[in-house]
Amino acid sequence: MITILVAEDEVHILRLIQRRLESAGYIVTPFEDGDEALACALEQRPDLLLLDIMLPGANGLEICRQVKHAYGSAAPPVILISARGQQADIEAGLEAGANDYIIKPFSPRLLLERIEAVL
């Protein structure tokens, strides 16, 4: 089974993502706090990280950088999600090591397509 760590501080969005991914057969580990998500990612190495950029504690960019650094070439893929859709924001996410960047709001179908593309 594929495990996806999801870090999103907006609870209704987190639950929506969790339900959609679980209905698609993924195991979801949800977090509302960046520090907790980072600790889990470094201890358990999920198959994929889906990270909001703006989180309490460590932000999504920081989590991405640390996970990519810690695991090197064996790092799991990271998809960043954010309401920030300027080109500079997207470039910052990709420079942090993200494999993809999704702008909010997004459709659940698009999310699944992008997840399948990076796995």
Where residue 103 falls among pLDDT bands split at 50, 70, 90? very high
Range 18-31 average pLDDT = 98
Q: Contacts by 92-99 with C-beta closer than 8 Å and gap 24+?
A: 92/61, 93/53, 93/60, 93/61, 93/64, 96/61, 96/64, 96/65, 96/68, 97/64, 97/65, 97/67, 97/68, 98/64
How much is the pLDDT for 30?
98
Task: Tell me how far apart the alpha carbons of residues 11 and 74 are, in angstroms, rounded to a whole number.
Answer: 30
Q: Which residues pair with 28 in a beta bridge?
A: 4
Encode pLDDT of 61-77 as tens digits: 999 999 999 999 999 99
Judge if pTM exceeds 0.75. yes
Percent residues over pLDDT 70 in the chain: 100
Task: Give the model's pLDDT for residue 81.
Answer: 96
Per-residue pLDDT at 64: 98
What does the angle CA 75 – CA 40 – CA 17 come to, to the nearest 5 degrees? 85
- Name the pLDDT band for 33 (thresholds 50, 70, 90): very high
Over residues 56-65, mean pLDDT: 97
User: For the chain, which domains are there?
Assistant: 3-118 (3.40.50.2300)
> Please, what is the average pLDDT of the chain?
97
C-beta atoms surrounding 4 within 10 Å: 24
Q: How many residues does the chain have?
A: 119
